[in-house]
Structure 1
Amino acid sequence: MTTMNLIETRPLKPLFLSYLFPAMIGMLLMSVNILVDGIFVSHGVGPTALAGVNIAVPIFSILLSISLWIGMGGATLYSIALGRHNKERAHKIFTLSFVTMLIVVVILIITLLLNLQDIAYIFGANDSTYPYVKEYLFIILLFGVFYTIENLLSIFIRNDGNPKLAMAGLITTSVLNIVLNYLFIFVLDYGVTGCALATVISTMIGAAVLCFHFFRKQSELKFVRKFFNWSDVKSVFAIGLPSFIVEASVAVIVILYNVTFLYYLGDNGVTAYAMVNYIHTVLLMMFYGIGMALQPIVSYHYGARLMKRVTALLKIGIVTALAFGFIIAVAAILFPSQMMAVFGDSTMDVRQMASQGFVYFAIGYIFLGINMVFAEFFQSIEKTRLATWIMLLRSIVLFVPALIVLPIIFGAQAIWWTFPVAESITALLIFYYVKKNPKVIST
């Protein structure tokens, strides 16, 4: 049975689960790479180096946002083409997406390398953290193109009916990153440079593992010579825009949080947020995993005009996201100090600040999953404007005013409330809109 026939005929819950677990594990492992960097740097180099690496984390978000923007936009069109049994168009979309991403990423990396110091200070570096930021960022940027290739390939491989290989590539990257971090930091004493080297080497090998998909008989991922079309380029960027916003906004949010914590609570506040942000990065990527599990099968069914199955998939996604959000929120409320204890070299004051803040911060996960599922759903059925508005509301329109106003009114502790306030209001607005316009999810 072909991949296309399997998607159309398989019961929805087993079909969704067959994509969900590999997608969530894959996203978890992708974020664990960043978490592992933080843990090894914290224990092997020190808390100031940890703050420096955290300031550099938005670069990951920027690179990931480009690969998600083009990858998710292209993959949506790719799955819709497969749903319509138009393989020739699917091949063109894949080639176009890959080449376009390479061009954009190379230009971006060159620009960032030429302005490294200015970028670091904009992101929140100061004289004590900049040497670590520079040391880490230079290597990450130099080899950053492999990070984006791995992510784009994993997206398309998942859309081509092989979510297990997409997961296997990310498992390879994650395991190697742990081993190499230990080797470079604790054995060879390379410090932050070793951490960056571990990340790029493991990513390159993980991307190589994904290339095995091209030798699979059922693979529809094929490079073709004639692929360029301005209309398709515009469609890829338009449909992928919500994915770009959600990941690019992570960089903006981290920068704004760093600047705000530095203003109200000094270096201790930045370090406390760094600890919370590493945990948040892992959890956020797992919520991405729910959306990424939905996207291939929703886009395919939408292309095949199987709208009852499309609506049913949305409901399954919402229930999954809600359950996951409640579990995380409860765990964070009950065990915040245990979660922060992984960053062992921080002072007691910093660890206590991070633990108390995470209790408030984690309430936002109850609503985050709903917002991510709806945005991914609308993106998957080419309702890009709705998906874009959801992402702008939660990350810019509501977040920025809340970050400014809450600490002014309620004090520095209220900085932690910004995330749950923005996410909860966004979720309420989504449900209000869908209630007023029910046809938006069924046509």
Structure 2
Amino acid sequence: MAVSSEELGKKDIKKLLVQQAVPSSIGILFMSVNILVDTIFVGQWIGSLAIAAVTVVLPITFFISSLGMAIGVGGGSVLSRALGSNDKEKALFTFANQIMMTFLLASVFVIFGLFFSDEMLTLFGAKGNIVAPAKEFFLPIIISVPFLALCMMGNNIIRAEGKAKYAMFAMIIPAFVNIILDIIFIKMMNMGMLGAALATAISYFTCFVFVLWFFVYKSELRLEIRHFKFQIPLIKEITELSFVTFSRQGVVSVLSIILNHTLYTYGGEHSIAVYGIISRMLMFALFPILGITQGFLPIAGFNYGAKNFDRVKESVNVSIKYAALLATVIFVVILILAKPIVAVFTNDPEVIAETPNALRWVFAASPIIAIQLIGAAYFQAAGKAKKALFLTLTKQGFFLIPLVLILPHFFGIFGVWVAFPIADILSTIITAYFLKKEMNTVLIQKNGIDNTF
């Protein structure tokens, strides 16, 4: 049963978080399984070089499509708080402006990508034998990116309405489509990298069709033509909060560039394939923590807008506890089952030899990342763009990128893998400090003193 926006301010926080987080987690799980199975099919049916090619191309497309995610998350914060303060008109104008911003910006970036495809592939680490399969994979994917961007934007708005189950379906449907088409195009029709790309591109379009259906028939947000008018103050508010998510994805893209070049320098093509497997496992294994984070956002945003500060604080505490427990379980599973997990992806002996220990090191600090993720998400939900931006960039921007650049000079390829837990620990310490300080401020606001920092 879907949760109405009003229930975000009334229901028990624990029950509400479960209602919001479980569908989000399932949706992310299916999306992760989609990427995971896609990587397995590509690795087993085409080869480890194909995994390396996908590892190079996807950060480019995700960077462009993250415009939709960023506008969805940033605008979702504005929309949740508007619904919390019973300002339905602002919510409608917000949604309409998000649609226009997403389509225009994604289209501009896609055109740029088409004109400078060779330069972009080289920048993101396409070298040696990786270049040919990367080029074959790139074109169908980049053309489909506007649909993916609109899906990612719309998905966040569906969650902001409190309808997490529909957001879940929006991620499940394209996952099934992609897996089925992978089998048809790669295995049965022997289309190689082109088949993998077409399967992914078509799955993005099916997601767009479902999201469009939801907003036409199921949404509380009934848009009219008059809402499709750019409003500068609203665009500024959306952009400030969207910049947090987009900056994070921008930093992730810069990190991908640095990682791919560093891995190629110190370990060759097979080390990029190793990271391709690890990056897929990061998304797959952490799906429940990411689901809790997404489920937490509309709850915190709505109650902050309604000035229910006790519920805001409770939502933070409950989310961190649940996420930390799940992250610890995930770490133990990875620690024990690293070798059999890796063997599923590839038969390449070099990749199989290097990946298990690398996987364990990358996940080493995962039990504490709940504080980092929920802490940064809180500031975004509360509309505090500067603090959200700072904490969002802390791990990848302030710690991981410098560590990846420095440590391999002393420790070789091991320096890349150990950089991940060090960055997690340092960024978690900083996030915990700011979050604790903010919760004290929330108590002051609860007592009627407006001292927002």
TM-score bin (small chain): over 0.9
Determine the C-alpha separation between the residues in 1 that align with 2:129 and 2:113. Answer: 21
Amino acid at match of 2:329: I
Deviation track 1:189-232 (CA, whole Å, cap 9, x = no partner) reads: 11111111111112211221223323446622524424321111
Per the alignment, do residues 172 and 124 of structure 1 end up closer, same or farther by CA in structure 2, a change over 3 Å counting?
same
Determine the C-alpha separation between the residues in 2 that align with 1:95 and 1:294. Answer: 24
**2:277: which partner in 1?**
275
**2:309: which partner in 1?**
307
Deviation track 1:56-86 (CA, whole Å, cap 9, x = no partner) reads: 1202320342112111111111111111111
Per the alignment, do residues 194 and 427 of structure 1 end up closer, same or farther by CA in structure 2, a change over 3 Å counting?
same
| Bigger mean CA deviation after superposition, 143-152 or 239-248 | 239-248
Whether the 8 Å CA contact 1:91–1:224 is kept in 2: the answer is: no
Determine the C-alpha separation between the residues in 2 that align with 1:168 and 1:305. Answer: 31
| Bigger mean CA deviation after superposition, 335-344 or 282-291 | 282-291
Amino acid at match of 1:267: E
**Displacement of 1:185 after TM fit?**
0.2
**Displacement of 1:267 after TM fit?**
1.7
Determine the C-alpha separation between the residues in 1 that align with 2:317 and 2:187. Answer: 47
Whether the 8 Å CA contact 2:65–2:145 is kept in 1: the answer is: no
Determine the C-alpha separation between the residues in 1 that align with 2:414 and 2:204. Answer: 37
Deviation track 1:287-332 (CA, whole Å, cap 9, x = no partner) reads: 3322211111111111111111011000011112211221121111
**2:369: which partner in 1?**
368
Amino acid at match of 2:165: K
**Displacement of 1:275 after TM fit?**
1.6
**2:247: which partner in 1?**
245
| Bigger mean CA deviation after superposition, 55-64 or 45-54 | 55-64
**TM-score (normalised: structure 1):** 0.95
1:189-268 equivalences under 5 Å are 189-216=190-217, 219-226=220-227, 227-268=229-270
Determine the C-alpha separation between the residues in 2 that align with 1:214 and 1:233. Answer: 21
**Displacement of 1:161 after TM fit?**
2.2
**1:359: which partner in 2?**
360
1:29-428 equivalences under 5 Å are 29-216=30-217, 219-226=220-227, 227-284=229-286, 286-347=288-349, 349-428=350-429
**Displacement of 1:54 after TM fit?**
1.1
- The runs of 5 or more residues in structure 2 that have no matched partner are 446-453
| Bigger mean CA deviation after superposition, 13-22 or 282-291 | 282-291
Whether the 8 Å CA contact 1:92–1:223 is kept in 2: the answer is: no
Determine the C-alpha separation between the residues in 2 that align with 1:313 and 1:193. Answer: 45
**Displacement of 1:8 after TM fit?**
2.1
1:7-22 equivalences under 5 Å are 7-22=8-23
Amino acid at match of 1:9: K
Query: Per the alignment, in what secondary structure is the counterpart of residue 128 of structure 1?
Result: helix
| Bigger mean CA deviation after superposition, 292-301 or 241-250 | 241-250
Determine the C-alpha separation between the residues in 2 that align with 1:169 and 1:15. Answer: 20
- The runs of 5 or more residues in structure 1 that have no matched partner are none
Per the alignment, do residues 66 and 321 of structure 1 end up closer, same or farther by CA in structure 2, a change over 3 Å counting?
same
CA RMSD, aligned part only? 1.9
Whether the 8 Å CA contact 1:94–1:223 is kept in 2: the answer is: no
| Bigger mean CA deviation after superposition, 290-299 or 25-34 | 25-34
Whether the 8 Å CA contact 1:83–1:300 is kept in 2: the answer is: yes
Whether the 8 Å CA contact 1:157–1:166 is kept in 2: the answer is: yes
Per the alignment, do residues 284 and 258 of structure 1 end up closer, same or farther by CA in structure 2, a change over 3 Å counting?
farther
| Bigger mean CA deviation after superposition, 296-305 or 220-229 | 220-229
Whether the 8 Å CA contact 1:23–1:289 is kept in 2: the answer is: yes
**Displacement of 1:279 after TM fit?**
1.2
Query: Per the alignment, in what secondary structure is the counterpart of residue 128 of structure 2?
Result: coil
| Bigger mean CA deviation after superposition, 104-113 or 413-422 | 413-422
Determine the C-alpha separation between the residues in 2 that align with 1:96 and 1:404. Answer: 40
Determine the C-alpha separation between the residues in 1 that align with 2:69 and 2:242. Answer: 7
Deviation track 1:166-208 (CA, whole Å, cap 9, x = no partner) reads: 1112111111111010000000111111111111112211221
| Bigger mean CA deviation after superposition, 218-227 or 336-345 | 218-227
**1:430: which partner in 2?**
431
Amino acid at match of 1:35: L
Amino acid at match of 2:299: I
Amino acid at match of 2:234: D
Per the alignment, do residues 214 and 401 of structure 1 end up closer, same or farther by CA in structure 2, a change over 3 Å counting?
closer
